[in-house]
Amino acid sequence: MSGASVLFLSGALAAEPERASPADEAALAGPDSALDALKDQELRHETIVRTGKQDGYVPQETVSATKTATALVDIPQSISVITRDLLDDQAIRSLDAVIRLVPGATIGQGEGHRDQVTIRGNNTTADFFVDGLRDDVQFFRHFYNVERVEVLKGPNALIFGRGGGGGVVNRVTKIPFSGDAFSFEAGADTFGAYILSADANKTLSETTALRLNALYEDGRNHRDVFEFERIGFNPTFGWRPTEATRLVIGYEYASDDRIVDRGVPSIAGLPARGFDRQFFGSPELNESDLLAHVVTARAEHDVNDNLTLDAKFSFGTFDKTYRNVFPATPISINAVTGAQQVGIEAYLDPTERENIFGQSNLTWRASGLGTEHIVLAGIEFGNQTTVNQRINGFFDSGVPTTVFGRRTVIPVTDPLAIPPITFRPGNGNRSVRTGADIYSVYVQDQIGFGRWVDVIIGVRFDQFNLEVQDFLANATFVRNDSFVSPRVGVTFKPVEAASLYGSFSRSFLPQSGDQFLSLDLSLEALEPERFDNYEIGAKWDITARIAVNLAVYQLERLNTRAPAAEAGVIVLTGAQRSRGVEASLSGAITEKWNVSLAYTFQDAEITETTTAAPAGRQVGQVPRHVFSAWSRYDVFERFGIGLGVFYQGDSFATISNAVTLPDFVRIDAALFFRLTEKIEAQINIENIGNTDFFPTAHTDNNITTGASRSARFTIRARY
């Protein structure tokens, strides 16, 4: 568990050349020498547990896609990795800024209180992971303790389990290394927000080390009343009891208190312009509070040179409450007064969640009959207990109401004059306790047929048991689902640094939603949602520091559910198909020039008519064309410049296809200064052209307004 702010520089700590050990140099040399380096007593992050390597903007390998350290060029799947250097250069502090750089993905509003993404046309609030373990609680994620962010496209059930139909977002965290180091970062922007973060690593002995990451952020933006405060505290302890055994134990405390902002309503099928700053809510009532405690443990043991056993475990408690008033209708004209008016609703949503996840893997390297194998066999378990309520707000003060007293229509004034609201039992409320138990076994074989062909094949079996106690209905509903999720991919390598691949993968999601909070007799009987992905692609490491990727895919989703135009309503949509092309280039063109380019063409539509939507209707928040470009050029040793361009084509806000989010272009820039050998500063200017845009939405009348022109100032010190 972590959160969304990145004015942080600690990724550089683990990469400073003067601190590199012989084990690090060996680890960077290649897979065979990396295995030898794992036995070295040094405690840098490559030698405690393997998480993958990167160089500047270019990721070189990952563990997440296969649970084994594998070069990205050898993985038959589209994967986008946002490295620590790229996070820092763009001063990224939220997931929406990360997703702008990822082909095939767009950010969602998340009702103003959580991360939400659409990957390959599939919307999710739950397909988030930390170091390969599920992290599906609804909140905004920090990046203060993150080494890099990985977005793995297509169904990933073999590795990650249920869900992940369009893809998953995995954060790889920082862990202890050998050596003493400290870094500090301070940042502020022209909206009045500021952030402080620190990263300290201390070697305690020849076999132990401690690392501490900490964050404090006070947030503001272009909206009239928006603000938040969040705190992150994450100590990790690394221990190497023997040459063959490595252990990392961590704890994270996170709190996030913020104003819940659900944007602006629509007018005549378009976002309401002229209200970029105005808050369509109540500063007193719209709030979200999160408190989380998470304990994690990771261990590896080399049984021998060819056999490795690893295990991961996490236990987390999450206490979250959000309450909000929000626009529930388009802006219209009052027939009597001629003034603008809008319908509003409100509700309170408290949630307590306890997550327990664990997994263990055995990795065996073998060869024979002209083939080489990396065989993975693993088990995983999970238990999630959730207590959740939805307590609707009612207008009991005598004002005219609709929808069982939960909605009233008020004049559009600034600020809104909101009548008194009573949060009480009534129509549309929810009170449930859910228990989910997950048991999984899986096996995978990465087979090398000489230098030309690699094959990856695997299958996973999941048993998902869900019990929902509905206290209002005085009823208990149960689902017991069994999934078999196959994966197969073939990679052809005409040269060592390039590959052509084809793959098929499948994933499932029980009919209880991302957060499994709703279950009734109709959903209890429905088949799980199924995702089938067919993909071909090409990858080319032009040099050791420049990578090009291309993927073409078709993703079929059956028994689908989707958010309706009405807030809080989920509809069954039959089936949908997503087709697309994803292309990216990242790396160092020269020693002074780094770039990150990404382009997406995608089309996602309903393919089976239901009462919710006819066949041919477009899936919401899936623009056909998205393009991003970022470039940093170091003019002198102590001065560099950056320039970024982001284009997003128009899309529909929801599956109703009634409201369109217009296309837009946003331009950013940056200046980088190296003040001393240990102190750096930068200025990031966002939306230079002060473009008026609407990047995302939650419903047809909860539409996010893009931030106006601003500047962010950052200073970093490393010791």
In terms of DSSP bridges, do strands 128-130 and 167-173 run parallel, antiparallel, or are they unpaired?
A: parallel
Question: Band of the pLDDT at 36, cuts 50, 70, 90?
Answer: very low
Show the CA angle centred on residue 345, arms to residues 341 and 349, nearest 5°.
155
- Sign of the alpha-carbon dihedral angle for 387, 141, 165, 645: positive
Q: Is 386 helix (H, G, I), strand (E, B) or coil?
A: strand
Question: Band of the pLDDT at 717, cuts 50, 70, 90?
Answer: very high
Q: Give strand pairing partners of 268.
A: none
Distance of CA 375 to the CA centre of its chain: 29
Mean pLDDT of 31-51: 36
Q: Give strand pairing partners of 492.
A: 453, 500
Mean pLDDT of 422-426: 94
Q: Give strand pairing partners of 82.
A: 149
Q: What percent of the chain has pLDDT over 90?
A: 82
Distance of CA 125 to the CA centre of its chain: 9
pLDDT at 382 over 60: yes
| CB 15, CB 199: distance < 8 Å | no
CA 665 – CA 653 distance, rounded (Å) = 18
pLDDT at 518 over 60: yes
User: Which has more confidence, 13 or 48?
Assistant: 48
* DSSP letter for each residue of 604-622: EEEEE--SS--TTPBPTT-
Residue type, 130: V
The pLDDT value recorded for residue 51 is 55
Mean pLDDT of 502-514: 88
Question: Band of the pLDDT at 609, cuts 50, 70, 90?
Answer: confident
Structural domains of the chain ordered from first start:
10-718 (2.40.170.20)
Question: Band of the pLDDT at 375, cuts 50, 70, 90?
Answer: very high
The three state secondary structure string of 389-439 is: EEEEEECCCCCCEECCCCEEEEECCCCCCCCCCEECCCCCCEEEEEEEEEE
Q: Identify the weakest region by mean pLDDT among 369-383, 502-516, 635-649.
A: 502-516
Query: Rounded to the nearest 10 degrees, how much is the dihedral formed by the CA atoms of 322, 325, 329, 331?
Result: -130
Mean pLDDT of 476-489: 93
pLDDT digits (tens, 9 = 90+) for 650-709: 999 999 999 999 999 999 999 999 999 999 999 999 999 999 999 999 999 999 999 999
Question: Band of the pLDDT at 587, cuts 50, 70, 90?
Answer: very high
Mean pLDDT of 610-638: 93
pLDDT digits (tens, 9 = 90+) for 313-331: 999 999 999 999 999 999 9
Show the CA angle centred on residue 428, arms to residues 423 and 433, nearest 5°.
85
Question: Band of the pLDDT at 21, cuts 50, 70, 90?
Answer: very low
Q: Identify the weakest region by mean pLDDT among 30-34, 198-202, 428-432, 457-461.
A: 30-34
Q: Phi then psi for 278, rounded to 5 degrees?
A: -70, 140
Token readout for 13 is: 């700590």
Question: Would you tell me how many other CB atoms lie within 10 Å of the CB of residue 470?
Answer: 17
pTM: 0.91
Token readout for 125 is: 């609030």
Q: What percent of the chain has pLDDT over 70?
A: 89
CA 124 – CA 613 distance, rounded (Å) = 20
Question: Band of the pLDDT at 59, cuts 50, 70, 90?
Answer: confident
pLDDT at 306 over 60: yes
| CB 571, CB 609: distance < 8 Å | no
Q: Give strand pairing partners of 321.
A: 289, 350
Question: Is residue 715 exposed (0-12), middle (13-18) or buried (19+ Cβ within 10 Å)?
Answer: middle
Q: How far is CA 206 from CA 32, 44, 189, 301, 438, in A?
A: 24, 12, 42, 18, 39
pLDDT digits (tens, 9 = 90+) for 236-276: 999 999 999 999 999 999 999 999 999 999 999 999 999 99
Tell me how far apart the 2 most distant CA atoms of the chain are, in Å. 85
CA 382 – CA 315 distance, rounded (Å) = 10
Mean pLDDT of 520-533: 75
Question: Band of the pLDDT at 61, cuts 50, 70, 90?
Answer: confident
The pLDDT value recorded for residue 186 is 98
Tell me the average pLDDT of the chain. 89
Residue position matching structure tokens 């060996």? 26
Question: Band of the pLDDT at 219, cuts 50, 70, 90?
Answer: very high
Report CA Rg, the chain: 25
- Sign of the alpha-carbon dihedral angle for 102, 108, 114, 119: negative
Spell out the residues 6+ positions from residue 445 whose beta carbon is closer than 8 angstroms to its own: 373, 374, 375, 376, 455, 456, 457, 458
| CB 579, CB 602: distance < 8 Å | yes
Q: Give strand pairing partners of 595.
A: 587, 631
User: Which has more confidence, 23 or 338?
Assistant: 338
Q: Give strand pairing partners of 149.
A: 82, 171
Residue 96 DSSP symbol? H
Contacts by 412-417, CB closer than 8 A, 24 or more apart: 412/331, 412/339, 412/340, 412/341, 412/342, 414/278, 415/224, 415/278, 415/279, 415/283, 416/279, 416/280, 416/281, 416/282, 416/344
Token readout for 15 is: 């990469």
Closest alpha carbon to 538 in 552, 550, 547: 550
- Sign of the alpha-carbon dihedral angle for 17, 22, 27, 31: positive
Q: Give strand pairing partners of 80.
A: 151
pLDDT digits (tens, 9 = 90+) for 432-453: 999 999 999 999 999 999 889 9
The pLDDT value recorded for residue 4 is 30
Residue type, 314: S
| CB 463, CB 439: distance < 8 Å | yes
pLDDT digits (tens, 9 = 90+) for 76-126: 999 999 999 999 999 999 999 999 999 999 999 999 999 999 999 999 999
The pLDDT value recorded for residue 248 is 97
pLDDT at 592 over 50: yes
Question: Is residue 233 exposed (0-12), middle (13-18) or buried (19+ Cβ within 10 Å)?
Answer: middle
Question: Is residue 436 exposed (0-12), middle (13-18) or buried (19+ Cβ within 10 Å)?
Answer: buried
The pLDDT value recorded for residue 101 is 96
